Amino acid sequence: MIYLDYSATTPVNIKVLKYFEDVSLRYIGNANSIHSLGKNSFKAINSCSKKISSLLKLKDQEIIYTSGATESNNLAIKGIAFKYANQSKQIITTYYEHSSIIASINYMRTLGFKVQIVNSNNKGIVDLEHLKKLINDDTVLVSIGSVNSEIGIRQPINEINKIVKQHKNCIFHCDMTQSIGKERIDLSQIDLISFSAHKFYGIKGVGALIKKNNLQLDPQIHGGKSTTIYRSGTPATPLILSMGKALELMYVNFDKKYNHVAMINKYLRGELEKIKEIKINSTIECLPHILNISIPSFSSKKMVKELAKNDIYISNHTACSSDESKSLAIYALTNDLKLARTSIRISLSYLTTKKEINMLVEQIKRMLKNV
Ligand code: PMP
């Protein structure tokens, strides 16, 4: 099998899975219970939060554990919008956000919020001057992801944050699902950060929303008090602990892993550039883990399915939007319907080899020959 769909999800690291089994048997108590078994689970979650905070160099930030980034994004957007609905009613975002951001913001629009889309340049990067013009005293939230999941476009998060911070009532939410565990990024000043364990070889079904301590949110899941007041329910202790483990493992040889992916990306890009039918959509500034291309002469769905018959796995668009007939992100970037309808995403890992890339390229060439 040649797996090249790591941005959709990663295969779980066997060490994480073993750890999950171990802590599932070790921490049987409900972390909300007051007896010693409950307290043991609660303490284990607390030390996991300390570990994550230290790995991510968080400052004055609280970790709210969720079921994944979709929930984190919903909590961030609705939680802020509902909390401050009486004060301000404008939300700013981009065309490059994940469907869970777009859908949550669209929902707030139906409740009377005004939504503004900030312009981007021809590389998909946010136009900071336009952002300055759009933000005003009525802006409650700016939600812009650090890395777009389909193309790998990176946004200048710290510059964006500085602009947002000039408005005292405005909050910055950053979906870092495609960044955490992959690239070094300063998170210390950001109000709200979403991420998910299954993007860094953790188990599916757990993620987090990191929140500045002084910030308040309207909870979106109501119930009894839990490890935080923002998300009720029995804490998923083994999943939470296994996410901490997955992140810790990502930080072993972190730079080496990143450099390997950058090398593989360069090699793949070089090989694809030799094929005249292919247009490469990801720029060299994009996160190297993602390479998006369009093949206008070939249906992207057919390409994904044909490659899968040969045990090679890539994506058309993202996994969350693979049924859409066109990619909204590629359309926003290129303004070209044909490219948006025929785009595919190849996503890479520190596990990816040149041999795998050669086999992918060979299969693509074979398919194009038979058109
Ligand atoms: N945001 C981004 C940028 C993503 O890539 C994804 C996963 N496709 C999500 C949010 C949603 O994450 P989850 O699958 O954990 O809900």
DSSP letter string over 16-74? HHHHHHHHHHH--S-TT-SSHHHHHHHHHHHHHHHHHHHHTT-SSEEEEEESSHHHHHH
Radius of gyration of the CA atoms of the chain, in A: 21
Give the residue among 184, 212, 180 at the shortest CA–CA distance from 196.
180
**Ligand 1 atom closest to residue 148's alpha carbon, by position in its atom list:** 3
Q: Could you give the residue range(s) of every CATH 3.40.640.10 domain in the chain?
A: 14-250
Q: Could you give the residue range(s) of every CATH 3.90.1150.10 domain in the chain?
A: 253-369
Residue 224: pLDDT band by 50, 70, 90 thresholds? confident
Tokens describing residue 337: 């319907």
> Could you give the CA distance from residue 343 to residue 95 in angstroms, rounded to a whole number?
16
Is 320 among the catalytic positions? Answer: yes
Q: Choose one of 154, 192, 320, 321 to mutate for the ligand 1 pocket test, by most ligand atoms within 8 angstroms of C-beta.
A: 320
Identify the pLDDT of residue 321. 61
365 CA to centre of ligand 1 in angstroms: 31
Q: Choose one of 99, 176, 177 to mutate for the ligand 1 pocket test, by most ligand atoms within 8 angstroms of C-beta.
A: 177
Tell me the whole-structure pTM to 2 decimals: 0.96
Q: Which residues sit with their C-beta closer than 6 Å to ligand 1?
A: 68-70, 73, 98, 100, 145, 149, 175, 177-178, 196, 207, 318-320
> Could you give the CA distance from residue 9 to residue 155 in angstroms, rounded to a whole number?
22
The proportion of the chain whose per-residue pLDDT surpasses 90, expressed as a percent, equals 94
193 CA to centre of ligand 1 in angstroms: 12
Give the model confidence (pLDDT) of 28-53 as tens digits: 999 999 999 999 999 999 999 999 99
Identify the pLDDT of residue 317. 77
Give the residue among 292, 288, 294 at the shortest CA–CA distance from 265.
288
Identify the pLDDT of residue 139. 97
Q: Is 313 helix (H, G, I), strand (E, B) or coil?
A: strand
Give the residue among 357, 254, 267, 278 at the shortest CA–CA distance from 2.
357
Half-sphere exposure of 68 (CA within 13 A, CB side): 12
Identify the pLDDT of residue 371. 74
> Could you give the CA distance from residue 81 to residue 61 in angstroms, rounded to a whole number?
20
Residue 21 has pLDDT above 80, yes or no: yes
Which CA distances in Å does 132 have to 93, 127, 146?
13, 9, 18
Q: Choose one of 100, 101, 153, 328 to mutate for the ligand 1 pocket test, by most ligand atoms within 8 angstroms of C-beta.
A: 100
Give the model confidence (pLDDT) of 281-291 as tens digits: 999 999 999 99
> Could you give the CA distance from residue 349 to residue 339 in angstroms, rounded to a whole number?
25
Identify the pLDDT of residue 325. 80
Give the model confidence (pLDDT) of 311-339 as tens digits: 999 998 766 665 568 899 999 999 999 99
Angle between helices 69-83 and 99-110 (to 10 degrees): 30
Give the model confidence (pLDDT) of 134-152 as tens digits: 999 999 999 999 999 999 9
Which spans in the chain are helix H?
14-26, 36-55, 69-83, 99-110, 128-134, 157-165, 237-250, 254-273, 300-309, 328-334, 337-341, 354-369
**Ligand 1 atom closest to residue 318's alpha carbon, by position in its atom list:** 8
Give the model confidence (pLDDT) of 179-205 as tens digits: 999 999 999 999 999 999 999 999 999
**Ligand 1 atom closest to residue 71's alpha carbon, by position in its atom list:** 16
> Could you give the CA distance from residue 213 to residue 218 in angstroms, rounded to a whole number?
14
| Of 48, 170, 286, 320, catalytic | 320
- Comparing 161-165, 293-297, 319-323, 345-349, the range with the smallest average pLDDT is 319-323
* CATH-assigned architecture of domain 253-369: Alpha-Beta Complex (3.90)
**Percentages helix, strand, coil for the chain, rounded to the nearest 5?**
40, 15, 45
Mean pLDDT on 243-253: 98
Identify the pLDDT of residue 20. 98
> Could you give the CA distance from residue 220 to residue 172 in angstroms, rounded to a whole number?
19
- Comparing 69-83, 114-128, 304-318, the range with the smallest average pLDDT is 304-318
371 CA to centre of ligand 1 in angstroms: 34
Identify the pLDDT of residue 320. 64
* CATH no. for 14-250: 3.40.640.10
Contact 126, 259 (CB under 8 A): no
Contact 213, 201 (CB under 8 A): no
Neighbours of 186 (CB within 10 A): 11
Q: Which residue has the CA at smallest separation from atom 12 of ligand 1? A: 69
Phi (first) and psi of residue 55, to 5 degrees: -60, -40
Q: Which residue has the CA at smallest separation from atom 7 of ligand 1? A: 8
The proportion of the chain whose per-residue pLDDT surpasses 70, expressed as a percent, equals 98
Residue with tokens 């790998």: 152
Residue 295 has pLDDT above 90, yes or no: yes
